[in-house]
Chains A and B, each alone.
Chain A
Amino acid sequence: MGAADYQVDEKGHLEKNNYLNCEKGLKSWLFTIDHKRIALLYLGAMILFFLVGGLAAVLIRLHLWSSDSKLLSPDMYNVLFTLHGVLMIFLFIVPGIPAVLGNFLLPLMIGAKDVAFPRLNLFSFWIYLLGALIGFIGLLDPVWLVSKIKGSAIGTWMPLDTGWTFYTPYSTSTGAGSGWGTIIMTFAAFVLGFSSILTGLNFIVTIHRLRAPGLTWFKLPVFVWSLYATSIIQVLATPVVGITLLLLIAEKVLGVGIFDPEKGGDPILYQHFFWFYSHPVVYIMVLPAFGIIGEIIPIFSRKPIFGYSAVVFSSVGIAAVSFIVWAHHMYTAGMSPFSQAFFSATTFGVAIPTAIKVFNWVSTMYKGAISFEAPMLYAMAFVFLFMIAGTTGIFLATLGLDIFYHDTYFVVAHFHYTIQGGAVIGLIAGLHLWFPKITGKMYNKKLAIFAFWLIFIGFNVTFLPQFILGVQGMPRRYAFYIPEFEPMHRLSTIGMFFNAIGYTLALLNLALSWVFSKEKAPANPYKALGLEWQAPSPPPHDNFINTPIVTVGRYDYGKPLEDLGLKGGVSG
Chain B
Amino acid sequence: MKIVPEKASTIASDFDFLNLVLFIASAFFTVAIVGVMLYFAFRYRRRSNEDLDKTPRIYGNHILEIIWTAIPTVVVIFIAWWGIVLREKMFAVDSDHITVFVNSWKWAWEFRYETGKKSSGKDAVLVVPVNKPVKLILTSKDVIHSLFIPAVRVKQDAVPGSYKYMTFTPTRIGEYPIFCTEYCGTQHSTMMAKLRVVSQEEFDVWVNYVETDEGPSAELGKKLYSELGCNACHSLDGSRLVGPSFKGLYGSERELSDGSIVVADDAYILESIQYPLKKLVAGYPPAMPAYSLKDEEYLGLLSFIKEVTFGKDQGEELVSILLDEDKVPEDDALLQPEQRGARLVQQKGCVACHSLDGSQLVGPSFKGAWGSTREFTDDSTGKVDEEYVRESIYEPNKRIVKGYLPAMPSYQGQLSEEQINDIIEFLKSLK
Contact = CB atoms under 8 A, between A and B. Distances in A.
- Our verdict on whether A and B bind, yes or no, reads yes
23 contacts: A170-B143, A170-B183, A301-B55, A302-B51, A303-B56, A303-B58, A304-B57, A306-B61, A366-B40, A367-B55, A368-B40, A369-B55, A383-B34, A384-B30, A391-B22, A394-B79, A401-B19, A403-B155, A404-B150, A404-B153, A407-B146, A472-B3, A559-B54
Interface residues of A, number: 104
A478 B190 CA distance: 8
B82 interface: yes
Contacts of A450: none
Interface of A: 74-75, 78, 161-163, 167, 169-170, 173-174, 261-262, 264-268, 301-304, 306-310, 331-334, 337, 340-341, 344-345, 348, 351-352, 355-356, 358-360, 362-363, 365-372, 380, 383-384, 387-388, 391-392, 394-395, 397-404, 406-408, 468, 471-473, 475-482, 484, 487-488, 527, 555-561, 564, 566, 568-572
B144 A348 contact: no
Interface of B: 1-5, 14-15, 18-19, 22, 25-26, 29-30, 33-34, 36-37, 40-41, 44-47, 51-62, 64-65, 68-69, 72-73, 76-77, 79-80, 82-91, 142-144, 146, 148, 150, 153-157, 159-162, 164, 177, 179-190, 275, 277-278, 290
A369 B86 contact: no
B68 A359 contact: yes
B56 A569 contact: yes
Given A404-B153, A473-B179, A478 B15 contact: no
Given A161-B185, A370-B41, A352 B90 contact: no
A472 B189 contact: no
B83 to A, nearest CB: 3
Given A372-B45, A394-B79, A306 B59 contact: yes
A392 B26 contact: yes
B148 A399 contact: no
Contacts of B62: 570
B38 to A, nearest CB: 8
Given A344-B80, A367-B56, A399-B86, A387 B41 contact: no
Contacts of A268: 159, 162
B44 to A, nearest CB: 5
Contacts of A481: 189
A409 B65 CA distance: 35
Contact of B15 (A162, A352, A404): A404
Contacts of A303: 55-58
A445 to B, nearest CB: 15
Contacts of B277: 264
A400 B185 contact: no
A567 B54 CA distance: 15
Given A267-B161, A407-B181, A78 B57 contact: no
Nearest to A173: B143
Contacts of A358: 33
Contact of A369 (B54, B90, B275): B54
Contacts of A341: 84, 87
A401 B15 contact: yes
B142 A371 contact: no
A363 B64 CA distance: 10
A403 B56 contact: no
Contacts of B57: 303-304, 556-561, 569
- The 3 A-B residue pairs with the shortest CB-CB distance, nearest first, are A261-B161, A400-B86, A473-B150
Nearest to B165: A334
Instruction: Specify which of A360, A384, A387 lies most central, judged by the most chain B CB atoms within 10 Å of its CB.
Output: A387
Contacts of B290: 264
B185 to A, nearest CB: 6
A558 B56 contact: yes
A266 B183 CA distance: 18
Contacts of A337: 87-88, 91
Given A370-B45, A401-B19, A403-B155, A478 B189 contact: yes
Given A302-B52, A356-B69, A380-B41, A307 B60 contact: yes
Given A267-B161, A475-B148, A387 B29 contact: yes
B186 A75 contact: yes
Contacts of A308: 59-60
